[in-house]
Amino acid sequence: MSLRVVIYGVGPIGQLITRAAYEKGFEIVGAIDIDPGKVGKDLGEVAGLGRALGVKIESDADKVLREGKPDVVLHSTGSFLDRVYPQLVKAIRVGSDVISTCETLAWPWYRYPELAELLDNYARNNDVTILGAGVNPGFVFDALPSVLSTTIIRLDRLTVVRSLDASKRRYSFQKKIGLGMSPEQFREALARGEITSHVGFAESVLLTASIMGLRLDKVEEDQEPVIADANYETQYFRISPGQVRGVIGHGSGFVNGKEVIRVELRACVGCEDYEEVRLEGEPSITWRSTGTPGDPATAAVIVNLAPRIINERPGLITLKDLINYAYTA
Ligand SMILES: NC(=O)c1ccc[n+]([C@@H]2O[C@H](COP(=O)([O-])OP(=O)(O)OC[C@H]3O[C@@H](n4cnc5c(N)ncnc54)[C@H](OP(=O)(O)O)[C@@H]3O)[C@@H](O)[C@H]2O)c1
């Protein structure tokens, strides 16, 4: 059976999801976006498929969902559950499962406990499954170290470092980490919500702890700009000495006052691409990669999980429901 999907959000990530869904042979039955520059255009052309798909991008989500009757909505419009909540409700209302790149949906009880409960009840009542996933949260800081921890008998501390060259990422990523701003502009824009930088440190920490059965007594997160000491240039930004060339941020989870989980992101122009997962305990193991290409990897996670969630229980689920291979506290 071919999976019927609606693409909800046709930004850079939605475009990659479209290409991946096409590659997987999914039946794309609708596309939704509010950007006037995209509405009315063919999805295949906007997504850079090099051919028309016969699917027009429309702004009337209710109409697209009602007429398309998708099995799964592939959603990528925003990072914060309070803003995307009405969109998710529209999909649930027509009986469609949802998999979303919304970072705060990966562990929604942290920032939005009331909305999480509402969403869970609404999904159960409509017999649909809803999942927040992606590359981060959704893979590098949580799913990956969880699976890697399966060979550890006693875990004292988990550290994940993800370092990436921000110049290789999409425009919206480079913008949200404040490239080219002064440090003061960065801090003010972050405080005002004009840029988000990385969203989801705490969600990854809580997701990992939950998969492993660790009871955390405290979670912290923070991020700081990385300042350029030379000139840098990306496809979209020119950065002079003294301006922001990236961010370093982390999330930490504590048990009995001791940091047992630390996830750290170094996203800057000129940074090396790698991920390192350090598991300290019995035995101690370090895994290192040459880097996961974040944007296509996000699309891959979404389309690889989409056929799986249609068989999951109704309600708001997390990656914890899909990962059953991990260290157990
Ligand atoms: N979990 C992960 O690992 C992961 C990885 C990558 C990205 N993400 C997140 O996924 C989201 C999408 O990324 P992106 O770079 O493609 O973002 P983007 O550039 O902001 O694109 C989002 C698209 O959705 C549209 N949109 C916004 N509100 C909408 C609504 N109510 N109905 C329909 N369409 C709407 C936007 O239109 P306008 O431009 O007109 O607003 C835009 O075309 C971001 O929040 C990003 O942080 C998560």
Mean residue pLDDT of the chain comes to 97
- The residue whose CA is least distant from atom 9 of ligand 1 is 101
| C-alpha of residue 148 to centroid of ligand 1, in Å | 30
What number does the ligand 1 atom closest to the CA of 86 have? Answer: 31
pLDDT classification of 71: cutoffs 50, 70, 90: very high
pTM above 0.85, yes or no: yes
- The residue whose CA is least distant from atom 39 of ligand 1 is 35
| C-alpha of residue 240 to centroid of ligand 1, in Å | 29
Q: Which residues on adjacent β-strands are paired with residue 289? A: 275
- CA distances from residue 78 to 6, 7, 124, 138 in whole angstroms, order as listed: 16, 14, 23, 15
Q: What percent of the chain has pLDDT over 90?
A: 99
- The residue whose CA is least distant from atom 17 of ligand 1 is 11
Tell me how far apart the alpha carbons of residues 185 and 179 are, in angstroms, rounded to a whole number. 10
pLDDT classification of 1: cutoffs 50, 70, 90: low
Mean pLDDT over 292-304 rounds to 96
Mean pLDDT over 32-42 rounds to 98
Tell me what pLDDT residue 123 has.
98
Per residue in 76-123, pLDDT tens?
999 999 999 999 999 999 999 999 999 999 999 999 999 999 999 999
Count other C-beta atoms under 10 Å from residue 263's C-beta. 29
Tell me what pLDDT residue 269 has.
97
| C-alpha of residue 164 to centroid of ligand 1, in Å | 21
Does 152 score more than 70 pLDDT? yes
| C-alpha of residue 78 to centroid of ligand 1, in Å | 4
Tell me what pLDDT residue 139 has.
97
What number does the ligand 1 atom closest to the CA of 176 have? Answer: 47
Q: 229 exposed, middle or buried (CB, 10 Å; 0-12, 13-18, 19+)?
A: exposed
Structural contact between residues 166 and 177, judged by C-beta atoms closer than 8 angstroms: yes
Structural contact between residues 231 and 179, judged by C-beta atoms closer than 8 angstroms: no
Q: What percent of the chain has pLDDT over 70?
A: 100
Instruction: List alpha helices for 193-313, DSSP H.
Output: 201-212, 294-309
Q: How many residues does the chain have?
A: 329
Domains along the sequence of the chain with CATH? 4-134+297-321 (3.40.50.720), 143-291 (3.30.360)
Per residue in 164-206, pLDDT tens?
999 999 999 999 999 999 999 999 999 999 999 999 999 999 9
Structural contact between residues 8 and 77, judged by C-beta atoms closer than 8 angstroms: yes
- CA distances from residue 315 to 28, 86, 274, 303 in whole angstroms, order as listed: 24, 16, 35, 20
What number does the ligand 1 atom closest to the CA of 12 have? Answer: 16
Q: Which residues line ligand 1 (CB under 6 A)?
A: 9-14, 32-35, 76-79, 87, 101, 103, 134-138, 170, 172, 298
Structural contact between residues 306 and 91, judged by C-beta atoms closer than 8 angstroms: no
- The residue whose CA is least distant from atom 18 of ligand 1 is 11
Ligand 1 pocket test, candidate residues 15, 63, 74, 77, most atoms within 8 A of CB: 77
Give which of 213, 205, 162, 215 is closest to 326, Cα–Cα: 213
Q: Which residues on adjacent β-strands are paired with residue 45? A: none
Per-residue buried b or exposed e for 93-113, using 16+ beta carbons within 10 Å of the residue's own CB: ebebbbbbbbbbbbbbbbbbe
Structural contact between residues 97 and 127, judged by C-beta atoms closer than 8 angstroms: no
